[in-house]
Structure 1
Amino acid sequence: MSTVLSNNKEETGVRKTLLGASSASATATSNSLRNDKLSRLNSARTSNAPSASSDTGVNHAESYFLRREHRLSARRKAEEEAAINDYKKMYEKALATNQRLKSRLETSKQELTVIQDQLQRAQKGRPGACGSNMLETEKKESWALKKRISDIEEQLKVKADLKMENQRLKDENGALIRVITKLSK
């Protein structure tokens, strides 16, 4: 039985070798045909007057390869343009997103300053807060200053009255001195 298995293994190995050789020879044959066509194309291109029998075959092959090359280059160009357009669209999308985020950031900053101002005003107006104590002392100082100003204004009025009284007394004194001088003469 071992000989039968070994024979089967050898047969499959031979078959694989034959298949590999046949596929290799088929590949070599297709490569040689392709090279043969290319060499004919190159020779047709290099010579100005190709032979009449191979002229039609070469022209068909040449036009086939030229069309194929043209299609491939057009496809590559379209793919490159699509890739460029994709990058451009991605760039424009990122730019729009950045602008939107910048505007949101600015509005958030403005809202933050408004809220901070409101918070400071609320802390000043709240009794028991440090700011309200200062506000009360400022009110007391303001009241004391207003009272002092009113006292000084009253004193100024009294002083003005005293000046007028003093001037009146000086005038009377001068009149009395004149009367006494006339009487003494």
Structure 2
Amino acid sequence: MSSLLSRSKEQPHIRKSASDSSPASSTATTKGLRHERLSRLSSSGSSDLSNDKSTSHAESYFLRRENRLSAKKKAEEETANNDYKKMYEKAIATNQRLKSRLEISKQELSVIQDQLQRAQKGKPGDCGSNMLETEKKESWSLKKRISDMEEQLKVKEELKMENQRLKDENGALIRVITKLSK
């Protein structure tokens, strides 16, 4: 054990933080550091019984740690697979619900179309009379607007004619005034 302490004083440990290495190479770096530690521990040079115990202890520690990490990765992968499976099942359920709503909507549309066709063909008195009344009102209002516009055009023509007459009269007065002023 004392040789371990003296060796650790001679060779300082170099630790890499998680931010120093990329995520893809973190596994390889971790394995390399473990291998380096194991080789340092096994090549310490002393054949003490305590050194053998610490070496086997260190090896078992690293093996247990590696097993825990691999189990954790497997659990994460299973969780991710379960998440995808849940999402897939959810999407299928949503699709089924939307398909059923679409079918219901199609049925309602066909019923409404049938009612519309029956209303157009079967009962011309009810719907037809209302339509005729609205058409009559619209045509009457259009005729009224046309007659109003025709009256406005007549008034406009009369105003144009009167305006022209006043211009002619004004010209005549100007000529008279010019003759008188000479």
TM-score for the superposition, normalised by structure 1: 0.45
The structure carrying a bigger helix percent of its residues is 1
User: Is the radius of gyration larger for structure 1 or structure 2?
Assistant: 1
Higher RCO (CA 8 Å, separation ≥ 6 residues): 2
